[in-house]
């Protein structure tokens, strides 16, 4: 089993991925809230406990791979992996064998999570393909024919929008994410959910339509990320919902870079 670790802006997500005959199955997932003050030892204690909860031990994993968009957390987690698993983790960068090329000027500036999403989509879905990852931010990746990463877009995430409404207004409440039952809200809470969730779905449809026009080609649309489940039922464009795309993508890149 491969341990995939994604260091995001708010959480560290771990997934145990079994790979066999080019099939990738997620055996478990767990999350740790980002803590900038934690040492390698504290992350080690937390991950050890998560593994014990799954009746797993470090010896059950034949490799570790990490993607990170939070440099201050990467260093203690690398040390944690060395201590807990006795191995050096593979780090995803634009120099990794991603199975795709770039037509943008500075691929090294693309978020590591975006690289993983794009690499998996380029290898597993009809091209051209757009991945949309709805997390702390909403990120779009566009991969053209011949597996060429040509760019994308970044927008605020759903939670970011809800937090901003609550923090920057006097009377609007902070709501938890949920799929609204109607578009025309009948009270403040319904109006906020409609504007946030339905508005995001409409934005996705509009962005995809414009990207297709710019490419002069229809695209495959793939939705993923922690908040995608709230938006996905409202997206009108034909799409695939793959909630585990990033973790499977990490395991795929481990095999591609270390499994040869």
pTM as predicted: 0.93
Q: Which of 6, 113, 117, 242 is catalytic?
A: 113
pLDDT value, residue 45: 95
33 an active-site residue?
no
Could you report the per-residue pLDDT of 25-50, keeping only the tens digit for each? 999 999 999 999 999 999 999 999 99
CA-wise closest residue to 250 among 58, 19, 11, 70: 19
Same domain, 130 and 112: yes
Distance CA 191, CA 194 (A): 5
* Pairing outcome for strands 63-68 and 90-91: parallel
On whether both 153 and 242 belong to a single domain, the answer is yes
Whether the CB-CB separation of 40 and 80 falls below 8 Å is answered with yes
The CATH number assigned to the domain holding 76 equals 3.30.420.40
In a domain, 256, yes or no: no
If asked whether residues 86 and 105 sit together in one domain, one would say no
The answer to whether residues 54 and 106 belong to one domain is: no
Domain count, the chain: 2
Residue 210 has pLDDT above 70, yes or no: yes
Kindly state whether residues 181 and 147 are assigned to the same domain.
yes
- In this predicted structure, the answer to whether residue 260 has a pLDDT above a threshold of 60 is no
Same domain, 218 and 106: yes
| Tokens describing residue 241 | 């919902």
pLDDT on residue 80: 96
- Give whole-number Cα distances, 75 to 4, 51, 58, in Å: 16, 21, 19
Q: Which domain holds residue 226?
A: 101-248
Domain end (from 91, 122, 137):
91
Cβ–Cβ under 8 Å, residues 92 and 113: no
Span 63-115, pLDDT tens digits:
999 999 999 999 999 999 999 999 999 999 999 999 999 999 999 999 999 99
């Amino acid at each position: 089993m491969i341990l995939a670790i994604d260091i995001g802006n708010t959480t560290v997500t771990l997934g145990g991925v079994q790979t066999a005959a080019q099939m990738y199955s997620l055996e478990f997932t767990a999350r740790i809230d980002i803590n900038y003050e934690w040492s390698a030892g504290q992350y080690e204690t937390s991950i050890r406990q998560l593994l014990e909860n799954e009746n797993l031990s470090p010896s059950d994993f034949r490799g570790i791979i990490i993607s990170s968009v939070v440099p201050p957390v990467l260093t203690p987690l690398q040390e944690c992996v060395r201590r807990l698993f006795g191995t050096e983790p593979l780090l995803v960068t634009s120099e990794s064998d991603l199975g795709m090329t770039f037509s943008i000027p500075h691929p090294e500036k693309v978020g590591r999570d975006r690289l993983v999403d794009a690499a998996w989509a380029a290898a597993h879905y009809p091209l051209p393909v757009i991945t949309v990852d709805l997390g702390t931010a909403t990120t779009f990746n566009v991969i053209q024919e011949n597996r060429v990463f040509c760019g994308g877009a970044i927008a605020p995430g759903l939670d970011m929008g809800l937090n901003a409404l609550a923090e920057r207004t006097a009377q609007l409440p902070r709501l938890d994410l949920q799929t609204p039952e109607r578009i025309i809200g009948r009270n403040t809470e319904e109006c906020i959910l409609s504007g946030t969730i339905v508005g995001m779905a409409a934005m996705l449809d509009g962005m995809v339509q414009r990207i297709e026009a710019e490419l002069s080609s229809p695209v495959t649309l793939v939705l993923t990320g922690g908040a995608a489940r709230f938006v996905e039922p409202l997206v009108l464009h034909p799409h695939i919902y793959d909630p585990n795309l990033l973790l499977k993508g990490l395991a795929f890149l481990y095999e591609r870079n270390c499994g040869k």
